[in-house]
A and B are shown apart, each in its own frame.
Chain A
Amino acid sequence: MKVLMKGNEALAEAAVRAGCRCFFGYPITPQTELLEYLARRLPEVGGVFLQAESEVAAINMVYGAAGAGARVLTSSSGPGISLKQEGISYLAAAELPCVIVNIMRGGPGLGGIQPSQADYFQATRGGGHGDYRVIVLAPASVQEMADLAVLAFELADAYRNPVMILGDGILGQMMEPLELPPFKEDLPAREWATDGCRGRARRIINSLYLDAEELERHNLRLQEKYRRIAEREVRWEEYLTGDAQVLVVAFGTCARIARATVKAARSEGIRAGLFRPITLWPYPYRQLQAAAASARAVLVVEMNAGQMVEDVRLALEGRVPVHFYGRTGGMVPASGAVLQELRRIGGVGRVQHVRPA
């Protein structure tokens, strides 16, 4: 049965159904519906909802709760996610599973409250200190806000790693019909949780390694885990890429716009296709390379000044010209403008030019 929900609420309800009984967060637009939904919903299922005094406190409550063995969620937007970075580094280092939602708004600084994708670097490159990785999932519909929430908790547990869901203000606020996931009953055992040492050896959750050799061993082990994740967990979607001469690469909201544009371009005889990364880390480098095999040009569309475009260039290794079209500050690329760019780079005999970021 389909229900009609806002993206933020769909994500929140899906988290509850995925067995999450614990939320710590702080209000910020445009993710506040998520917090408010859980303030009402979690007590109904015997869960913990706590409005923390700051995002710094919230992420450290997540650390404590995750360490105590709970499936735990926190959510915020750019300015708050910046404050959470210290905690995310500690969570990754101590290998604690948790899900962090960033419903992106325009930055830098206080920026604005309109949708944006400007936290791509922060999410995929690790905004905190040290060599660590966070799995980053990018939904593009209300259905995916829910589905990826379930997946996020599963990946977090499977790899004992923080997972970030990177949405934007449009995905958070818009309403779409969706199929909610079923309730999950049995959660994986946590043989590492600190929940009192009755009848067993005591456990320690920690990220301090004062001995350099020991810290390097710890890092090598983490890197090995990240390699495993990169091998197994890459996710993406393709649309009309088979014969595409112009390939659009976009994630989240921009991928929805790009899809409509690709269709329009096809009707004009431009052989366009769309490649949509769903995992932003690990990034589908090889898959993108394959999808771009027949492409003569690639256009990356983002709601930022050009961030994912760097991963696209890394993937394509200079084999195809990579163009960029982006809007910032909460401005959303219009399908017409993207189509114009497609015509420019895909149309025969035209000069290749792209408006700089």
Chain B
Amino acid sequence: MLRGVLFPLALSVTLLLPLAGSAKPITDLKSLKLDVPAPDQMFPDGPGADAINANCLVCHSEDHVMNQPTLTKEGWEEVVEKMIKAYKAPISEEDASAIVDYLVRIKGKK
């Protein structure tokens, strides 16, 4: 159906970034003293917020969970179970179910 036309074109060298400092061999490393941001954001308020704040901010920040897609209830159950079984998050059964309900409420997939 549609046919495009292609024109040959010399590749422009300017597109390639020069390598910073590649001419000088590395002879020594300089110590670094840096600040890496520490998170302080809690989950949005609502039923179950206490449980998720207490259990799900130990290893990763709140944006990690908030950036996830919406998932079904089974999907969120699998996530919480993986945190407990694979990564050894110490979460009580009661908290786990409160967390699943919380996640289904704010990030549930119909």
The reply to whether chain A is a binding partner of chain B is no
